[in-house]
Amino acid sequence: MQLGSDIQIRDGLLAEMMLLREKPRLGFGHAESTVHQGLKAANYLNHVRDTTTVVRYSWQMSLMAQQQQPADQPLTNVVYNETGSLRADPNAKPGAPGSAQDLANGQQAVAEIANRVMNAGHPDRVAPDSLTAKGAAAVKTDPNAIDAYGRSRTAADAALGGSNISNGAMQYRTRVGDNVTTSLGRSSTSRGTPISQHYGPFIEGKHSVVIVVAP
């Protein structure tokens, strides 16, 4: 092939030069290019082993955490979530409605009923069996929360040990005010279930709260 200058280049050589200037297609490079091979077989197997080890380790740690959790913790958390904000009336006489002993009895009744309901397969009918992040922090640092959690654990332990001051009841409510006569679940279409036991009134912030129990 003849160019505009006096220099001549063989057709075959020119074709080779043009071919080298083209960009590779479909991921294929020039013959001298090094193709990335990813993980080699040995490295890949090591990677798989490492991943499996991590997964197995995570599962084992999770299982250990569950096994190390005290058996009474879920029920303790339920009782705390239901009654942890209640305080005894400082003006109540020992053993009287609203007193510290009355609150302890009310918490024990809640623990017994919650335990029965959960064992019956209805955990959705009671408070959660885990604490919020705020609650978990409070039971470690706030004196009132620490005391309330301790009382909740005492109630849970008694219930798990077979106590029955609630006489086999399956329902409880916390009510703002001092109404201990209106049946549980009463409405315009239902007479509800008559209250069999009640505790309080206790103090919750600026409100009075009672615990009512029904079969």
Q: Could you tell me how far CA 135 lies from the centroid of its own chain? A: 12
- Residue pLDDT, tens place only, 22-58: 444 333 344 444 455 555 555 655 555 566 665 565 5
Mean pLDDT, residues 70-90: 95
CA distances in angstroms from 103 to 59, 79, 204, listed in the order given: 41, 12, 12
Yes or no: say if 84 and 152 are a contact pair by the CB < 8 Å rule: yes
More confident position, 59 or 20: 59
User: pLDDT confidence of 186, banded at 50, 70, 90?
Assistant: confident
User: pLDDT confidence of 21, banded at 50, 70, 90?
Assistant: very low
Write down the mean pLDDT value for the chain. Answer: 81
Q: Where are the domains of the chain?
A: 68-214
Q: What angle do CA 61, 65, 69 make, to 5 degrees?
A: 170
- Residue pLDDT, tens place only, 114-149: 999 999 999 999 999 999 999 999 999 999 999 999
Q: Which pLDDT value is given to residue 70? A: 82
Q: What are 18's two structure tokens?
A: 């043009």
* Alpha-carbon gap, residue 204 to 82, rounded angstroms: 12
